[in-house]
Structures are given as C-alpha cells and as structure tokens.
C-alpha cells in the first residue's frame, strides 16, 4: 500500500510539473517582447507608465536604461534593442549621416527644454568677464547650447551656423567667456566649477533640478528639439511598434507628462 501511495504521489508530482511547465510556455508565447533603449528620466519613466497598457495589448516591454546616450543608436543599429526613445532629430540625423545606419523616426513624443543653470549666480546679469561656461561636447547638443547662449545675448554665432554650430562658429564673445566642453551627463556635477552651464532636462531632473524653478534661462517652447521614437527601417510597419505609438500618444500619457514634470517636459502630440 505504501508503495502504491508513493507511486501515485510521484505521478501527481510529474503531472503537476508538466501542467505548470505548459502554463509557463503558454505565458511566454502569449506576449511579444519589445526591447526599448531609453535614458532614465523622463523616457524610461514614461515607458514604465504604459507597461500595463502594453501588456493588455499583448506586448511585453523590456526597458533597457542607458546612462551614456552615445551608445543607444549603435545598440539599435546592431539589433540589441528594437526601439529607442531618448533623442531629437538633429542628434538622429547626425548619427545617420555619419554612420549610414538605417534608423528612422516614427513620431515625436515630447520636448525637454534645455536650460542654463548655476550654483554661483542668481541671474545671468551677474556673469563676469572671463567666466567659465559649461556646454555639451557632443555635436548636436553643443549647437543647441550655443544657440541658447546666443538667444540670451551672451555670444553671437556666425551667420548660418544653426544646428551645426560648434565653438568655432562663435563670432562674438564680448565677455571673453571661457567655453568649456563637457560630457552632457557630467554637466550637473560641474556646477560648482562653472559660472553657468547648459544642461539637458533629463540630466537636470536626475540631478534634482527643476527646469521651471532652477534654470536661469530656458529654451522657448517652439524649440525644434522634440524627442523621438526611433526604429530600424525594417521595423517601420511592425505591429508591436504601431501599438507602442498608439499607446504613447494618448490623453492619459499627455496628462501623466504634464502632471509629473510640471512643464519641464512638454508633450508634442
């Protein structure tokens, strides 16, 4: 009798494992995984907000956070991720032109106005001749920073420099400012060493800075630097990507952005 009971228990255990394994396999097959590369704030936070809605539509989001945005486009190009969400059009265009990568934008989601920050000044009028100004060292964000400095009257750029401007395009620098090129992610950490620094909103938010309260100046709301959803050309019509776009461009996501970032991040859909 004991042997019989043991045999029955073993059979029941095997059957249970088989059922559970079958359920797990079914669950694995139920959802399509979409791997998205993003910087932490606000991109990954916005993606986390739609995770459940995506799951209800059969798409499991795998969000991979990048602290170095120079690595995100190569990761998409090389197939390590399916989508990325971190960049504006000038940054994407510069990468595509330099590498020939078949990456394309599928929509705009939000803009993060770049700001000028300081730990040492309360107003831009306090800046002294020869002061050090920190700006981004990557091509597209450097041009954006220089245009912002020009907009507030600190420098004048060569005519036509536009979104391709570099420090070599500074035509007038009346205060003889020392323009220091720094990695964008490091700019918040150098505020004690600079009179002012231009900082991308995502890095400002990560550093506990509120662009609406802490910035001495900020880009106009009509800035062309909207953040994009980017895919490889071959995935333009992929259903999972289309579901992602529809889910991101909803009133619910718009309200989430407006309520959580209080003007530091502005939806453009």
Decide: 127 and 196 in contact? Cβ < 8 Å.
Answer: yes
Decide: 111 and 223 in contact? Cβ < 8 Å.
Answer: yes
What ranges make up the beta strands (E) of the chain?
32-38, 59-65, 83-88, 103-111, 115-117, 132-136, 156-157, 170-172, 178-182, 196-199, 217-218, 226-232, 266-267
Pairing of strands 266-267, 103-111: antiparallel
Q: Tens of pLDDT along the chain (269 residues)?
A: 444 445 444 444 444 444 444 444 434 458 999 999 999 999 999 999 999 999 999 999 999 999 999 999 999 999 999 999 999 999 999 999 999 999 999 999 999 889 999 999 999 999 999 999 999 999 889 999 999 999 999 999 999 998 889 999 999 999 999 999 999 999 999 999 999 999 999 899 999 998 889 999 999 767 789 999 999 999 999 999 999 999 999 999 999 999 999 888 999 99
CB count within 10 Å of CB 131 equals: 18
CA angle 231, 254, 147 (to 5 degrees): 70
Residues pairing with 136 in the sheet? 182
DSSP state for residue 12 in the 8-state scheme: H
State how far the alpha carbon of 8 is from the alpha carbons of 17, 22, 166, in Å: 14, 21, 77
């Amino acid at each position: 009798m004991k042997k019989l009971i043991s045999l029955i228990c073993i059979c029941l255990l095997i059957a249970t494992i088989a059922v559970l394994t079958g359920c797990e396999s079914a669950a694995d097959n139920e959802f399509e995984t979409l791997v998205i590369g993003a910087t932490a704030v606000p991109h990954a936070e916005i993606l986390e907000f739609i995770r459940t809605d995506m799951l209800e539509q059969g798409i499991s989001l795998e969000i991979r956070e990048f602290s170095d945005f120079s690595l995100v486009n190569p990761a998409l190009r090389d197939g390590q991720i399916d989508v990325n969400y971190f960049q504006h059009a000038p940054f994407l265009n510069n990468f595509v032109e330099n590498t020939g990568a078949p990456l394309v934008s599928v929509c705009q989601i939000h803009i993060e106005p770049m700001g000028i920050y300081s730990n040492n000044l309360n107003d831009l009028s306090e800046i002294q001749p020869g002061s050090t100004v920190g700006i981004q060292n990557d091509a597209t964000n450097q041009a954006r920073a220089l245009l912002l400095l020009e907009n507030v009257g600190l420098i004048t750029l060569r005519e036509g420099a536009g979104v391709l401007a570099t420090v070599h395009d500074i035509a007038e620098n009346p205060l003889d400012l020392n323009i220091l090129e720094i990695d964008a992610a490091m700019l918040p950490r150098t505020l004690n060493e600079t009179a002012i620094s231009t900082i991308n909103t995502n890095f400002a938010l990560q550093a506990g800075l509120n662009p609406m309260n802490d910035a001495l100046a900020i880009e106009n709301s009509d800035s062309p630097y909207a953040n994009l959803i980017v895919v490889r050309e071959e995935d333009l019509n992929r259903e999972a990507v289309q579901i992602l776009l529809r889910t991101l461009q909803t009133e619910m996501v718009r309200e989430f952005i407006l309520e959580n970032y209080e003007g530091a991040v502005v939806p453009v859909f």
